[in-house]
Structure 1
Amino acid sequence: MSAPHVVVVMGVAGTGKTTIGPLLAARLGVPYAEGDDFHPPANITKMSAGVPLDDADRWPWLDAIGSWAHGRAGLGGVVSSSALKRSYRDRLRAAAPDVVFVHLTGDRALIEDRMSHRQGHFMPTALLDSQFATLQPLQADEAGVEVDVSGSPEEITERAVRTLSALPEPTP
């Protein structure tokens, strides 16, 4: 796969979206946008307090990400977003129809361990169970791939590039 895809790196907290996203963008030669930067301050305050977001909290955030992806249509880009529910991915696709998802997946224990070693992030490990409970994996009719998060960031990125290369190019 080459640009002009806009790729959404998705998955539960702690899968490495913020690490893999920039590496993937560099490999594809496109810009990267950190999905957390699109959250309104109220969302960050809520999550920092250990309170999961509800759909009403997520809609403006998803709309902001969708707007960025729409602006990158035909140019390519990579953005991170948990995009845990099908309805969230549908909302992103409504804004940017050719978006492709890279679903970072992995063993819960590995993800929790990685989360517990992060510094300076607002998402506590206490919310990991709610993330897994909310997660609806990609369905067959959704453009995207699953990529296992075991291994180094470089290995994960290489797996993502390989699996994305098998996807068809978007139609203009």
Structure 2
Amino acid sequence: MVRLVKDKEYVKVKTLDLQGFTRKVSDNGEISYRWSNEYNRIFNYVDLIHGNYYEYKSISSTYGLGSTLYSIKSLSERVSAGLALSIGGLGLYLLYRGEAYYVPALKVDVADEVGAGDVFLSISSYYMVSNNLLDSVVYGVIAGSLKVTNAYKSWFSREDLDRIHSVHRRKVVKISV
């Protein structure tokens, strides 16, 4: 895996979703989450990592959003990747090089949540080619928010994202963890 993600010659931006790494499904269908320090090596070869609270909380020795954020912030000081912790319809936290930001989700009527994280990560990746990490993540949050408004129809255009971004970027808050 590390060999795969090291190669920047062909890929400008690399992102990773924790879902496939930390989530374990037992034979009876129960879901659990496990953290491995092996991930830390990979995180130095990736630009942005996305996970939800459950996928990240196993990094912390105690439970709760505050202790999980503290653990992620500590990890962000040791790896080069930005770490995005999604909290569903409330938005997400971005932790990068010891800095922490809260990016609120748009207030929308939710029709279908499936795929919102995938849309977030793909749109963030797209914008990271020509924008800074925080602005790119804001674009991703906007796109993920708009995606949940319907299951199948067109979700947004680039013009929609640009128009909303100019206003929504001002709602981002740098936080203390």
TM over 0.5: no
Tell me which protein shows more helix as a share of its residues: 1
TM-score by length of 2: 0.32
Name which one, 1 or 2, has greater alpha-carbon Rg: 2
TM-score by length of 1: 0.32
Which one scores higher on RCO, CA 8 angstroms, separation ≥ 6?
A: 1
